[in-house]
Structure formats: structure tokens, C-alpha cells
Structure 1
Amino acid sequence: MLILSFFAQRVISSIEVNTIILSLFAFFLILINKGKFFKQDFELLFLPILLIVIGVFTAVFNKPDTYDLIRDLIYFSKPVILILTGYFVARSIVDWKTIFKTIIYLGVFYAVYHISHTIIFTDYSNLSVSSIRNTNGLSNIVIIFAIALLILSRRITYFKLFSKSKTNSLLFILSISFILYFSRTMFLGLLFLILGFLNYLKLNKKGLKYLTLLIIFFSSLYIYLFNANISRKGGTLETFLYKLKVAPSEIFSPKLNLKNHAQLWDHWRAYEAYCAIQGLNEKPSTYINGKGFGALVDLKFPAPLSKEGNIRYIPILHNGYVYILYKTGILGLLTYLYFLFFLYYQSYIKTKSIKVRTFRNLVSATAVYLIFSSLIIVGLYNPDEEIALFLGIFLYLKSNAIKKI
């Protein structure tokens, strides 16, 4: 059931079909588990549900197109469905080690497929980062969670899953695939997950030490990148370094020349967010509860974002914070931020049980990943990622471990 839930999320490309199948699957799991929720998890799940209520309530007054309304309802409901699926799948499995091993083996399966696909289908006559990624896939979050869990199992004896040699072999396979994705999001996501799993993301003496090292590392990296002559049309490595170089301005630089398509594409996330804020500025009262589900963001010109043709009005943004603000206003954004804070705070709750502490760290690290990914790939509301499944699994493992002690 665990493998099927992950496959359904990744393999079925239609978000409508995907959501219907996962909804039925979640309903089946809830039935066989008699809907038994731990109280604190039920209260937490109320927060993303509240976002749905705000979006629907606001939409009633704005009267959007029915199709656009239903599409947004699906986008905002899907994470809740995935959390429920992960939660009750984990509840159906007795041994937490079985869950971890399944995630790792699934990651290895994806890695082997990705490596094989890259070797066979890459156009070596036109080798570039974009061509490799467009042909073989942009990212795979299961792989970075599998790597982080393997590193956790190596560092903490209680969580040992495999022999040292087998762990190293699995890490090698996963790492090759990880490198071949050339994904900035995966790179930073893996960094946050490893530090979070090992409890290095708390704002204490140990956490501040690692935070300082991270700041020094990235400061040094960007000093080099901004002083080096790196071209967006260079070789494979140079193109990847260029993407790293423009990453900050891609999110936070709205002043663009619309006639310069290369510049616009390099800063597309920032431009989307800029257009959304401009839309809210047209009627400042919409900052309170947003424009509601079904509201579209006007890009000011038809952009080549689809194979079917150019699109001027888009339903979803890369920047998850602006996306939530646009649809549900400050009320929704504060609700989402509180949801993320509640998850992150789990690592601060003291316990003598190494099992409970580690499961809390898994939840907290997932929250840090969401805080980061919400800036660039919609965070919890990315329809293509399995992050909500992981969150549901870790929430159950944490609460069940607390109950047992």
C-alpha cells in the first residue's frame, strides 16, 4: 500500500485522476483503521483545511469560472489527502523499519531507472543541463529522503537498517542519480533534511554552529560565482553553476525587461510573484482574505508556458507564500506559517526517548524543507511532489512513539 501510494502520486500525471484515486485510497485506509487519529495530529490537519474554507468562502463573492474554482479546490485539497494517505498507511504497518526500508528501496528503484534512462536517452551531441533534465526528469524528492534516511541509519545505532557495506552501496546508487538531476532544489533540500534528521537545525549552540558554517559556505560560493565569468550557454557544469548564480535573483528580482526573453526566463518566479502582488494591489482589501479559489494571475502578456499554446492567465505560482496570499490573503498565509512553525517546533520538545526525539526531528526537518521549497516550488501545494505523504508518515510515527512511552 505504501509503494502504491507513492506510485500513484508520481506516475499518474493528470492531477484530477491522481487526486480521485488517492482520495479513494485514503478513504479505504481510513475505513480499515476506523478513522483513529491522535488528537494533536487531528488538530494540526485542521490548519490546511482552514485554508480551503477561506478560499472557498472568498470565491463565493468573486464568482470565478467553475473550472478554475474546482481546479484550485483540488490543488489545496490534495495535500490533505496525501497526509491522510501517508498517516494511515503508516498506521497499517506495524514496524517503522519496514516503512524506512520501503522508502529507501523505492528511492533506489527510482535512481536505477533514472540513471538507466539518462544513459540511454540523453542526446550526447547536444549535451547541456537543460537537455539532460528535460529528457530524464527535473527532480525526485523520494531520492533525497532515501539518502537522508540512510545517513540517519549510519549515524544513530538505534536506527541502523542495513549492514555498512549495503548502506554504502545503496548510497552510491542514490548519489549518482542525485547528481544527474542537476537540481538546485534537491541539493538544498537534501542539505536541510540531513541536518534536520540529525537534529542540527535547532537554534541552539550546536545548531548555530552549523548555521554559521552554512552561511560561510554559501557566502564563499556566491562570492566565487559573481566574480567568475559564467555563461548561461556554457558546458554542462557551467550551465549548472549559472543556474546557482541566478537563483536568489530568480526569486526576488521583479524589475525585468519583458522583451528580453532570456532575462525574463531566468527570473520567472520573481515575475510571477510580482504580477500576483500587482493583482492584489488593484483592490487592497483583498489582502485580508485573498481573491479566493478560481482567481487567476494576469502575466500581462501571453507566455509560452504550455505545449498547447501561450498562456496569459495562470492558476498557480512557483512562490508558495505569494500563491497562498493571492488565493487566501493574510489570513491564509498566517495559517500556513503557523502550520509550518508547529511542525518545525517538534524538534524543541524535550524527551528522554531517542526514538521519539528522532521521529520529532523527521517532522521538523520536513517542515524546514517545506519552508524552503515554498519559495521556489509551491511547498506543500506542489501537485507533483510526495512531500505531504512523507509528512503524514512521520506524523504518525512520532505520535505513535509518544503514545507507547
Structure 2
Amino acid sequence: MKISVQKIYKFAFYSLLFLNLFLDSIEINFVAGLLIISFISIFPENKISQSFLNLISPLFVVIMVSFFAGLFYEIQPYEALRGFVYLFKPILLIILGFLLINKIKDKHFIFNAIVYTAAISATIHIFELLVFLANNPFSVTRIRELDRDNFIELFALVILSVNSNKIFLSHTILKKLKFFRFLLIISFVFYFSRTMFIALFLLIIAMKGYAKISSKGLLYITIFTIVFSSFFVSLQFMNLERDSKGIDGFLYKLKIAPAEIFSPDLDIDIHNHESLWDHWRAYEAFKAIQQIKDTNYSVGWFFGKGLSSQVDLGFEVPLDGKRFQYIPIIHNGYVYVLFKSGILGLLMYFYFLVFAYMQCYKPYKNLSLTIVNNFISGVAIFFILTSLIITGIYNKSDIIVLFLGGLFSLQLFFSKTNQEDENRYIRN
């Protein structure tokens, strides 16, 4: 039986989604990405446009600065290789997303693939949840141990929640739209993820075109800020404890979120894990910055400490059943980039995120392009947020960068499509 090239491209895209979603190994996923891009390179027509290369060039600069900075310190080959994999993986997935979606003729494919993949993931999550609840009492902490978040489900829920996105959805999804929404909402809620709840509102605002700095955009952003600020302030007056059960346990996690990110406990008791985890993200970021300062002539501030650098936590910390004193990556993506490539690399990372956000300001040409531009802006806002708490695009399990690469491909395609041609892609 002859297999079409189109099916191969689609299979490759789904493979990347499922591998990164269900296989928690950055090494295997990285090798899989390299194999797929090597296969794609066989076909001479798969070329990357100069405009796209210019767009992702700041991310290459981050790696280059980190590489050259590392030459001034003791090089550890294995750690340098691992550092390269962490920094290059998002670039690899963005390129793969761009190339695959560029060659797939069905320009609705990427949106439908995200929804179908999310539906499968949500089904698995709900099944695991039901099995757990059938054998254990309800506990937010224990439920979160099943899986802490799933951003494919987040983006799929956004796709299904904004009416304008329906032009990209298949007839099958449109017929069962309520079912897909219900499935994803149930799964979404039971992740009890602070990041996902905040990101959901921000993405919907962006998809509706309100991420721009305009009178209406500022109104929605102000309302969002006031509501969430009021909510967090009210939590400070609630008697919530770390060992609280049920919803109170989740509210406690929300209550300590600002302190966890921004307030390191410098008198931390290494034997008191409650104190340790309540300030963990801020503590590891503080230790990274402390080591940047401790460099000759402050060169660490400008160029970082290189690919093979690791953050010295000051004592052995229990992580994933093992004990570590030196870690190659931290939760705060901004400090992580600063640690590896200094202010120069951090500026490049900011430039990439801000440039992606600015796509929502591009002039209206057709409905499809407007939706794609708003989505790119929304993804940028998402990464601006997640860079504070889960390393942004450098999160080892992040798959949204593949989606972002596909959106850049659609942007290029629809920018060349006039209103009449667009009608071929909109379902009546």
C-alpha cells in the first residue's frame, strides 16, 4: 500500500506531540526531533524562509553567547552537551513545527491535531483520576501527583472556546463541540494548576484581540489584574495551612505563589521541607544570581556562566527521589537564561518574546491571518508568564513551541492569501 507524503508529515507531527506529551525524557525527544528533521531535509523543497530564520535568530544568539561564555570556565563535556540540548530543543521544535505545517496542505490540520491530542490526553487523565478516587480519599495534593499540568489541553480548550477559531475546526469536532469542551473542562479543573487557570484567561483575552494596548485592551487587562489581585489579597486573610486538605490545600498553594516566586527564605531549614518548598523557586533563582555575581570583573552579568554551568544550591536537596546539590536548570526561565548567557542572552530572549507578542498589532488582512496573529501573541504572553515559574520555552517537557512554529508557518501562508482565496478555507 502506498503511503502519501502528506500522511508521513502528519504522522511526524503527531509523533512529536505524543512523544513530548507522554515521554518524560528530553534526550529521547531531542533525538526524535533530530531524526525527523533529518528526514525532512531529504526533500530539497523543504527550505526555511529568511524571514523565519531572522525571527528565531535571537534564540540562536542565546546559545552562541552561552557557548563562548563557557570557554572562560572549567568545561564539563557532559554538562555542556546537556546545556546545549536544553537551549536548542525549543529552536528544534519551532523549526519542525514550521516545516511540517508548511508542507501539510490542510491548513486546518494543526488546530484539529491539538484538539484530538488533547482529547486523548484528557481521557487518560480522567480515567487515572477515577481509578485514584475509587481507591483513595479526595486529596488535591495527591491528585496533583497524577499530573500537575497539561498545556496541550489548555490550548485545545482555548481553541474550542473562542468562536472565531471554528473556521479551522473539522466537521467532526464541530458536531461534537460540546462533548470535547466538557471533556477538556473536567480534565482541566482536576489538574488544580495555578498556571493553567491564569493562562486560560490571558489566552482567551489575546484570542479575542484584546491583548493590544488600546482602550478596550487596557480595560480587559485592568479588569483581569484587579480581579486576580483582589483574589490573592483575600487569600492572605484566610487561615490556610500547608497540610490543608481538599480545596483548602489548593488555595494554600495559590496563597504562597508570590512568595514562592519572589521571596527566597535565606534562613531556610534544610531539614524542614515545608519551608524549603514554599520558597523553592525564589531560592534557586537567588542562588543562581549569587553565583553570577561571584565572577571576575562581573563578566557573569554580561555573558553568563556558559553551557556546562550548574546552580550550586548550597546543600543536597531531595528531588525526584534523589539528592542533588548542583542542578542544570531552574524554574525561573529569565534567571536561567541570565545564568547561562548573561544580560546579552536575556535581552535576546526578551526580544524574541516581545516580537512574537507584537504580531497582534499587524494590520488586518483576512480573518485567518488575524486569528493566527492573535494566537501567536497569546502564545508569547503564555511564555512571558511561564518563564517566571516553569522556565518558559526552555521547560524540558514543553510542546507549545511546536505549535508556535506551526503558527509562524500559517502566518506566512495566510499573509499571501487574499480575502477571496480565504473563502476556500472557511466552511459554510
TM-score under structure 1 length normalisation? 0.95
* Structure 1 consecutive aligned stretches of length 4 or more whose deviation exceeds 6 Å: none
SS at match of 1:32: coil
Counterpart code for 1:80: I
Rounded to whole Å, the distance in 2 between the matches of 1:67 and 1:376 is: 26
Measured in 2, the distance between the counterparts of 1:287 and 1:231 equals 38
Q: Give the whole-Å Cα distance in 2 for the aligned partners of 1:274 and 1:201.
A: 31
User: Which residue type is aligned with residue 61 of structure 1?
Assistant: F
Matches for 1:241-390 after TM superposition, within 5 Å: 241-259=251-269, 260-283=272-295, 284-307=298-321, 309-390=322-403
In structure 2, how many angstroms separate the alpha carbons of the residues matched to 1:142 and 1:358?
A: 18
Secondary structure, in 3 states, of the residue corresponding to 1:31? coil
Match of 2:221 in 1: 211
Residue equivalent to 2:8? none
Which residue is equivalent to 2:421? none
Displacement of 1:38 in angstroms is 3.0
- Deviation track 1:34-80 (CA, whole Å, cap 9, x = no partner) reads 33223321111211111111111111221321111110010011111
Q: Distance in 2 between matches of 1:156 and 1:109?
A: 20
| Range moving further from structure 2, 331-340 or 121-130 | 121-130
Distance in 2 separating the partners of 1:349 and 1:361: 9
**What SS is found at the alignment partner of 1:219?**
helix
Does residue 189 (structure 1) correspond to residue 203 (structure 2)? The answer is no
Partner deviation per Cα, 1:349-396 (whole Å, 9 max, x = no partner) = 112312111111111110000000000000000011102111111110
The answer as to 2:87 corresponding to 1:87 is no
Give 2:422's aligned residue: none
SS in 1 for 2:240: coil
Shift of 1:293: 0.6
| Cα distance in 1 between the residues matched to 2:18 and 2:229 | 39
1:325 positional shift: 0.2
* More off after superposition, 229-238 vs 8-17: 8-17
1:256–1:264 CA contact under 8 A, matched in 2: no
**1:96 corresponds to:** 107
Deviations 1:329-367 (CA, angstroms, capped at 9, x unpaired): 000000000000110000011123121111111111100
Cα distance in 2 for residues equivalent to 1:3 and 1:156: 21
Please give the alpha-carbon distance, in whole angstroms, between the structure 2 residues aligned to 1:60 and 1:315.
Answer: 17
Report the 3-state secondary structure (helix = DSSP H, G, I; strand = E; otherwise coil) of the residue aligned with 1:304. strand
Q: Does 1:20 align with 2:34?
A: no
Shift of the alpha carbon at 1:179?
0.6
| 1:31 pairs with 2:42 | yes
CA contact under 8 A between 1:347 and 1:357: conserved in structure 2? Answer: yes
SS at 2:318's partner residue? strand
1:117 to 104, 114, 128: 128
* Deviation of 1:101 (Å): 1.3
Contact 2:112–2:168 under 8 Å retained in 1: no
Amino acid at match of 2:180: L
In terms of mean alpha carbon deviation, does 312-321 or 20-29 score higher?
20-29
Amino-acid identity (%): 38
Counterpart in the other structure of 2:212: 202
- Residues of 2 paired with 1:32 and 1:90: CA distance? 15
Q: Distance in 2 between matches of 1:356 and 1:187?
A: 27
Is the contact made by 1:33 and 1:88 (CA closer than 8 Å) also made in structure 2?
A: no
Q: Report the count of equivalent residues.
A: 402
User: Which residue number in structure 2 is paired with residue 58 of structure 1?
Assistant: 69
TM-score of the two chains, using structure 2 as the length reference: 0.90
Deviation, structure 1 residue 157: 6.1
Once structures 1 and 2 are overlaid, which stretch shifts more, 257-266 or 71-80?
257-266
Indicate the SS of the match to 2:122: helix
Instruction: Give the match's secondary structure for 1:302.
Output: strand
* Gapped regions of structure 1 (runs ≥ 5): none
| In structure 2, C-alpha distance between the alignment counterparts of 1:326 and 1:375, rounded to whole Å | 14
Q: Distance in 2 between matches of 1:14 and 1:111?
A: 21
Secondary structure of the 1:360 match is helix
Q: SS of the counterpart of 1:131?
A: helix
Q: Which amino acid aligns with 1:298?
A: D
Name 1:67's counterpart in structure 2: 78
Within 2, Cα distance between the matches of 1:327 and 1:35? 32
Instruction: Say which of 170, 174, 179 aligns to 1:169.
Output: 179
Aligned 8 A contact 1:22 1:81 in 2:
yes
Question: 1:177 deviation in Å?
Answer: 0.3
For residues 125 and 5 of structure 1, the distance between their equivalents in structure 2, rounded to whole angstroms, comes to: 34
Structure with more helix by fraction: 1
From the superposition, tell whether residues 312 and 157 of structure 1 become closer, same or farther in structure 2 (CA, over 3 Å). closer
